[in-house]
Structure 1
Amino acid sequence: MSDFGNYGGGSMEAKKQQVMDQVRSELALANAQELINKINEKCFAKCVPKPGSKLDSSEQACISKCMDRYMEAWNIVSRTYINRVQRESQNMGGAGGL
């Protein structure tokens, strides 16, 4: 017979939740890596026109400010996107009776 009989409804739900949590965790990690890569790419190109053996104080200040602004913008865009997805998800849930 099938092994499906060994799983109760709660057990399958717990497994499903565990997989969803893992996917969310991996997406968060991928987003963090993308943020770091973009900051490195954009801020380094903007703030260090002639790379040398070390950063001078103006380059350090520029990179610090650039990183702050980039992360602020990233957070605004992320929050806006999440809010939009949630709103659309709620609207689709209410449209089931149409």
Structure 2
Amino acid sequence: MSSLFGSSSSATPQTSEEIKAAVVRQLQTEAAMSNARSLIGKVNKHCFQACVPTPGTSLSAKENTCLSSCMEKYIAMWNVTSRTYITRVGTETKRLGGQDAAAIASMATGQPEGGSGILG
């Protein structure tokens, strides 16, 4: 993984545009990690509470099936929401005529510009 301040490759950004692009990529990566952590935390909280009423030392087959189904639905919902948000930001960006707004929105969602979701 390459970062602006500790790149593992020998090529370092030279122009201000390259530096800006490197900063945006680094922020996108960090936002994506934050969003992934948030998704995992929410899935754990909501699905576990819904599927495991009395925690024990292992999961029953019913609890395991419930958790799998819940997680799949939650992640699908997350992806739909992300795509919708990115589409809306893209529409607003085109309306306002600014490229920087799309880059900022992609940082907020943790997705590259035009990205399609956490797992899709």
Query: One fold, TM greater than 0.5?
Result: yes
Structure 1 or 2: larger helix share?
1
TM-score interval for Structure 1 and Structure 2 normalised by the shorter chain? 0.7 to 0.9
With the length of structure 1 as denominator, give the TM-score of the two structures: 0.84
Deviation at 1:28, TM superposition (A): 0.7
Q: Percent identity?
A: 45
One of 16, 24, 27 as aligned partner of 2:20: 16
| Cα distance between partner residues in 2 of 1:48 and 1:72 | 21
Instruction: Count the aligned residue pairs.
Output: 85
Structure 2, unpaired ranges of 5+: 1-13, 99-120
Q: How does 1:1-98 map to 2 (within 5 A)?
A: 11-93=15-97
**RMSD between superposed Cα atoms in Å:** 1.2
Q: Residue type matched to 1:17 in 2?
A: A
Give a deviation string over 1:66-92, Cα, whole Å, max 9, x none. Answer: 000001100000000000001001001
For residues 12-52 of structure 1, give each alpha carbon's deviation from its aligned partner in whole angstroms, at most 9, with x where no partner exists.
11111100100011111111110000000000000000000
Structure possessing the higher radius of gyration over alpha carbons: 1
Structure 1 stretches of at least 4 aligned residues deviating more than 4 Å after TM superposition: none
